[in-house]
């Protein structure tokens, strides 16, 4: 079973419907027991970055997600990838500073210090992706040679459908860039063999089901 982590952000049931289209069993849940019982995890997300971070922290699920992501595959989609990167950035900064307080508090402190987790980007297709309009959001995504993403997809270039106004400024040291667009925007990050984040929306493209199935 795939658990779509419910922290109050994202079009969760549309994502569940896309998984059902692939014949895959999925549940939308904020229950730690469901997260622990799942074979795979999806961290979705759309909307405001800071608000999503606060909502995820408020659920109390971060330690459970971190623990389970060491044991089973986790896929972060769109804002979910950005949050994955931010978690590692803040955790790395906490280690550097010797910070022993909540990571969310350090995140807020870093924002006050004008740390740039993401930056505005033009031309990345502001709008809402659906299965009916997905083609106009597609663009080439160049996969890093030797990356886990390349092994999963068997491709060096894929067509990804992206819709975002912000992009990651720099990846956490613990993460590896697995794909970029022509303008250098990071489209995929990975952590070992377990965690993969993609900026594009594989669940929206029913003409390319094999891509979504491959990266789950």
Residues with active-site annotation = 78, 201, 203
Q: Which SS3 state, helix, strand or coil, does residue 25 take? A: coil
Contact call for residues 176 and 146 (beta carbons, < 8 A): no
Give the strands of the sheet with 26-29, arranged side by side: 26-29, 2-5, 40-43, 74-77, 195-198, 186-191, 176-180, 138-143, 157-161
Burial track 97-108 (b if 16+ CB lie within 10 A, e otherwise)? eeeeeebeebbe
Q: Which residues contact 170 (CB under 8 A, 6 or more apart)?
A: none
Which helix or strand (DSSP H or E) is residue 14 part of? Answer: helix 12-21
- C-alpha distances (whole Å) from 114 to each of 57, 77, 79, 106, 109 are 21, 25, 20, 12, 9
Beta bridge partners, 114, equal none
């Amino acid at each position: 079973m795939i658990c779509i982590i419910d922290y109050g952000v994202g079009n969760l049931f549309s994502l569940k419907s896309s998984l059902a289209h692939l014949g895959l069993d999925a549940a939308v849940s904020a229950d730690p027991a469901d997260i622990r019982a799942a074979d795979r995890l999806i961290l979705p997300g759309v909307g405001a970055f800071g608000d999503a971070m606060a909502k995820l922290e408020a659920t109390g699920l971060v330690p459970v997600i971190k623990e389970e992501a060491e044991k089973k595959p986790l896929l972060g989609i769109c804002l979910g990838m950005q949050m994955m990167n931010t978690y590692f950035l803040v955790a790395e900064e906490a280690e550097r500073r010797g910070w022993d307080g909540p990571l969310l508090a350090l995140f807020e402190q870093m924002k006050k210090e004008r740390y740039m987790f993401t930056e505005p980007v033009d031309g990345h297709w502001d709008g809402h992706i659906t299965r009916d309009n997905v083609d106009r959001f597609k663009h080439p995504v160049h996969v890093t040679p030797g990356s886990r993403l390349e092994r999963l997809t068997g491709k060096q270039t894929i067509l990804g459908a992206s819709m975002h106004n912000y992009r990651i400024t720099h990846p956490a040291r613990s993460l590896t860039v697995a794909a970029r667009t022509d303008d250098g925007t990071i489209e995929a990050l990975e952590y070992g063999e377990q965690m993969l984040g993609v900026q594009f929306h594989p669940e929206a493209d029913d003409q390319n089901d094999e891509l979504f199935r491959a990266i789950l």
